[in-house]
Structure 1
């Protein structure tokens, strides 16, 4: 294996690199690379199992490989390592370890640094080219300051190539994604809430090469809004600095996207669609944005206690109809070995969005679908990933790319003590097991609200017209970056 500081193959599996001494290759003239590099009379750097071990004057500390941002060997004999150092309970900041070698051996030092970067990045792409979109209006309006204080230093220390742009108006993310040079970037990182990722995916979907664009561009979130579901699910955090670190080390991961047909429009959803209590909890509490994510809890509790109902006719295409079947499907997928590579075929530049298998909301109902009246519906909530907000794991059996939406339905006329129990169950991860919660996996559905002239329908947290709509899942159409390469960062079932 050729060792180089840049890494010829940024997707190389680190498990293929030997952890003990690497034998020399006389034909190529490579040095014998030890795990430990002596950097002074009383200091050394060692490649451990999961971390870099730093020994200084008999004091030992470790830096997890995941936190290593970059390393290099300078012409002056210095070995410099930049890493993400815990700065508080839930944040990190860049820090540096630097030593001058007592006995400089440039070939040995460069080969050791290459081994360190192999361990630090594994199959993740190094020096990602990132288009950063900052929404200065989202959440509590602090995205610009947050980016420069907490995010940019991490990305810069990891030697990422950055192109930063502020969004100027609603829908600007759609315009940027629709017209961007997708070959110039690897990632679109949205310093925002969930609204800008929604816009980016829909901008990519408007292109003539939509399928290729959605495959090529990984969409990530740097959490700066009141709804940060994308980051919670794939970065495992709603802290901007930790999210930046997760993006630096993130693995390309296929993500199901869903086509929503409403009126004469078709658009994409990456997160959720809801009618009823969850939609109102989100959209009818816009005036409480100053509360941050606590506004969702407040709105949810008020409506549960008031036993609000939202009548509708619903038809669904079911993949897994019972909770036992859903649990089995989740555990089977979760037990598989992680993918080291994104092995999806690359679509051609002439391929647009997939054709709709089940038609649009304006077409006759598919013959094997049946509309079922739900007179006492309290909540209709379909989601693609687990967390909708901090502590709100509505979809613990969700899988990012199983071709399904997880569908939750709750009656609106349940007793008040049951309503409170439901809210608490979401926060303590027992929601799935509640008897009054209907949980299925579906690949398509149609919903027609009735007995209401006005109301709230939420698609990825965005309000749309209060009209019937139909949804169809496209397996693995989109791309994100995740820590695991295939699962949400949430407790499953």
Structure 2
């Protein structure tokens, strides 16, 4: 979570650790001169005529900084001064609660050491270039601070669904997201989707070289369109690696919640601010997809497949879309009180030995599988070209270790900054402008020079053995089985799944039951108040399969739903509820009436099967 710098280290740091130092005023306090020092971890400042101590020292951690900008005064009295505004979003504890949230805290330094504005501007511009390098964790040698260029800007394609959820996605982007992206010098092209499937059509045709990645401001439905649009392209192997980011603009916002949750950022308080902060400070992380096959179609899922109670709640709550995410809670109560049951067959290939909960009417077959850990390995995705994303974005300092409070500006000061100061065009801004796309095979700076690192996890460490502990292979009978798929032939993704009308291999588990609900999830969240798979990771190579069998009482279901908010439902002591980690599954519902949802989108009712595609796509997140 970034470099942690304690208060004592700041006070006693040696001269060698200081990259830049100077004397500045802090706007609007023009009568106090501060000594300002810049290290690789942040900026410290204290009154020049005071004693440098924990009480007088102020600190800005680069893990909280999204950008900075040079400015000049609109008042002729201060025409010689050059200003530097640092855009920071530190954390603070909420009143009457234990949670910590980010808040806007922009600090503006003023330099007037030179008599001329140009002299002060040149000094301030050097500080800006150094700060931009350090807050983005770009390589910077101390000897190069006088000559380091301005880092090139990122250019993003932003897709906004104006009809998603309560219909406020564009308003959210314009008022909350766009100002923060501007502070980070991120350029955007915004496209409003006009109809269902528009996002898929856009991604099938977009020139990837024009953008670093795509950001979705909507619910989960538009993300589903983007993923399937990329997979529908002739160059799908490369296209699916196009980084995807998302910001909450719909009702469900499950992936956005999972991203905030993974980064340790708030979901309840100002989720848009926290999600935008993560987008700016992100790393590129591989994200699993799941290939879903039905008799007449194949789609790619990033979130979940639901049948029964959860699917009914999701689809039937559409009539309450205007009330936002509360629609799910309302419909959940309605559906539990009028509970439905579905007869069908559920089969899955477990990651490790499956031990079912006892049941009087269990008709399970293939229960005792030799103890082993399985994982899927796909050369097509794992050996892909990810060289375009080899630079780290800094992670923010953890709030528990955040022991230096930033100098806090009031809203009044923020208004004064905007009213009294104007931005200054960087004089050494050669790296600011995006060059024209030449159409060559070389990666353009918009997609190549802004580089991020792939933060990967060892899939073996995330496999769960029979005793339920991550990575535990202590059993002498435990065997690691790697199901390695060959490279694709004729552009088709290889599969471990037999055709839907063919029997399954003997190492699969099959349950022939009456179910209340079945949900296959690969993200932690299904909504802001529903942590369905709390130990899921973006790239763990696992499908987290949960199912509720007929016989459960309504009171138990209501209690279970209340536990979903914190993810503690996994410890719920009921013989009717099971949660299994698997690599693939098959669902065969009986009858012709019912609802099946894939990533919140309704699909044909009938048999389907899915398999995990480990690390198939790329996500802008922090993990």
Alignment TM class, shorter chain as reference? 0.7 to 0.9
1:126 is displaced (CA, Å) by 7.2
**C-alpha deviation, 1:186, in angstroms:** 1.6
Q: What do residues 9-65 of structure 1 show as CA deviations (whole Å, max 9, x unaligned)?
A: xxxx989xx996686xxxxxxxx9536442246124344786544546876654442
Choose 242-251 or 471-480, whichever is displaced more.
Answer: 242-251
C-alpha displacement at 1:290, in angstroms? 2.1
Q: Report 1:323-338 matches (<5 A).
A: none
Stretch moving more, 88-97 or 165-174: 88-97
Structure 2 portions without partners, runs of 5+: 26-31, 51-55, 73-79, 95-100, 140-150, 357-372, 374-393, 396-451, 457-486
2:352 is the counterpart of 1:320:
yes
Per-residue CA shift, 1:49-104, capped at 9, x if unaligned? Answer: 86544546876654442332223568987352341458997675584524225256
Q: Write out aligned runs for 1:255-334 (5 A).
A: 255-321=287-353
Which of 547, 569, 579 aligns to 1:439? It is 579
- The offset of 1:367, in angstroms, is 4.8
C-alpha distance in 2, partners of 1:388/1:34?
45
Please tell me whether the aligned partners of residues 41 and 62 of structure 2 are also in contact (alpha carbons under 8 angstroms).
Answer: yes
Q: CA RMSD in A?
A: 3.6
Distance change in 2, residues 1:454/1:184 (3 Å) = same
Deviation at 1:271, TM superposition (A): 0.4
SS in 1 for 2:240: helix
Which SS does the other structure have where 2:351 is aligned? strand
Q: Distance in 2 between matches of 1:422 and 1:404?
A: 23
Shift of 1:360: 4.0
Kept in 1, the 8 Å contact 2:286–2:455? The answer is no
Q: Is the 8 A contact 1:136 1:167 kept in 2?
A: yes
1:393 aligned residue (506, 522, 531) = 531
Q: Does 1:244 align with 2:276?
A: yes
* Kept in 1: contact 2:18–2:37 (CA 8 A): no
Deviation at 1:295, TM superposition (A): 1.6
2:53 alignment counterpart: none
SS of the counterpart of 1:234? helix
C-alpha displacement of 1:390:
1.1
Q: 1:458 aligns with which of 572, 588, 597?
A: 597
1:336-351 aligned at under 5 Å gives the runs 341-342=453-454
How has the CA–CA distance of structure 1 residues 435 and 206 changed in structure 2, closer, same or farther, with 3 Å as cutoff?
Answer: same
* Displacement of 1:123: 6.9
Partner of 1:416: 554
Residue 55 of structure 2 is aligned to residue 67 of structure 1: no
Q: Which has the higher contact order (CA 8 A, sep 6+)?
A: 2
**SS of structure 1 residue aligned to 2:497:** coil
* Partner SS state of residue 334, structure 2: helix
| Aligned counterpart, 1:218 | 243
CA distance in 1, matches of 2:106, 2:554: 51
Provide the C-alpha distance between the structure 2 equivalents of 1:79 and 1:160, rounded to a whole number of angstroms. 21
1:448 paired residue among 554, 563, 588: 588
Q: Is 2:622 the partner of 1:483? A: yes
Q: What whole-Å deviation, never above 9, does each CA across 1:310-358 have from its counterpart, x for those lacking one?
A: 221011011034699xxxx9xxxxxxxx9982178xxx99995632221
Worse-superposed segment, 237-246 or 395-404 = 237-246
Aligned-partner Cα distance in 2 for 1:353–1:102: 66
Structure 1 residue 309 displacement after superposition: 1.7
Whole-Å separation in 1 of the counterparts to 2:43 and 2:211: 30
The CA deviation at 1:391 is 2.1
Q: TM-score, normalised by structure 1?
A: 0.80
Q: Say if 1:466 and 1:207 are closer, same or farther in 2 by CA, change over 3 A.
A: same
Q: Answer with 1 or 2: which has the greater Rg.
A: 2
For 1:393 and 1:363, the matched residues in 2 are separated by 35
Is the 1:33–1:108 Cα contact (8 Å) retained in structure 2? Answer: no
Normalised to the residue count of structure 2, the TM-score between the two structures is 0.64
2:494 to 355, 358, 372: 355
Number of residue pairs aligned between Structure 1 and Structure 2: 444
Q: How far 1:402 sits from its partner (Å)?
A: 1.6
* Whole-angstrom distance in 2 between the partners of 1:126 and 1:196: 29
Distance in 1 separating the partners of 2:205 and 2:289 = 20
Answer yes or no: is the 8 Å Cα contact 2:166–2:251 preserved in 1: yes
Q: Does 1:233 align with 2:258?
A: yes
Q: Which residue is equivalent to 2:110? A: 99
User: Equivalents in 1 of 2:59, 2:18: separation in Å?
Assistant: 20
1:303 deviation in Å?
2.9
Hey, what does 2:365 align to over in structure 1?
none
**Residue of structure 2 equivalent to 1:471:** 610
Partner of 1:374: 513
3-state SS of the aligned residue for 1:154?
A: helix
Kept in 2, the 8 Å contact 1:256–1:477? The answer is: yes
Kept in 2: contact 1:235–1:247 (CA 8 A): no
Aligned equivalent of 1:335? none
